[in-house]
Amino acid sequence: MVFKTKYLSLLTLLLAFTVSINAQQGKVNVEQDSDIDKLLEYKKDIKTTKVYRIQVYQSVDPDRAKREKINFLNAYGEWPVEIVWNTPNYKVWVGNFATRLEADRALAKIKKDYMNAIIFQPKTDKK
């Protein structure tokens, strides 16, 4: 008798559990404005890329900045180098690093010869 009671209890519990699992099904309909799709398309077209660079030298003398650029290229030819004029200094900037990690790895190499080198994100002109 005890066996039948346990068996029926277990069967009832199992049946209740199965019914409760099936009772959790449903259907969801999402309605949204058609302008949201347009905004998503526009967002795909906008490219917001962050660029990191390393400044290795600055001077008020453009000839010294050019010499330092040449020295840098002779020592490290793997990254692009440019001279940028920001009043009143000529600055030697290195690289166009897509991630901060790339810039950090390059800085670790560059710091051996350029102790004052820094990583920064140049300001972009938004029109």
Break the chain into its structural domains and give their ranges: 52-120
**Cβ atoms 89, 64 nearer than 8 A:** no
Top-confidence residue, 34 or 24: 34
- Which range has the worst mean pLDDT, 2-11, 54-63, 70-79, 82-91? 2-11
Q: What is the pLDDT of residue 18?
A: 63
Cα distances (angstroms) measured from residue 23 to each of 12, 18, 53, 72, 107? 16, 9, 58, 70, 60
CATH fold group of domain 52-120: Alpha-Beta Plaits (3.30.70)
Q: What was the pLDDT predicted at 24?
A: 62
Locate 31 and state its tokens: 């309605």
Tell me: pLDDT of 77 over 50.
Answer: yes
Place of tokens 């920064």: 120
User: CA 121, CA 118: separation in Å to the nearest integer?
Assistant: 10
Mean pLDDT computed over 43-63:
85
Query: Which two structure tokens, joined as six digits, stand for 51?
Result: 């660029």
Q: What is the mean pLDDT of residues 89-109?
A: 95
Q: What is the DSSP letter of 122?
A: P
The predicted pLDDT at position 33 comes to: 86
The residue that leads in pLDDT, 84 or 124, is 84
Mean per-residue pLDDT, 77-84: 94
Distance between first and last Cα of the chain: 86
DSSP run (H or E) holding 119: strand 118-120
| Range list of H helices, the chain | 2-22, 34-45, 62-75, 100-110
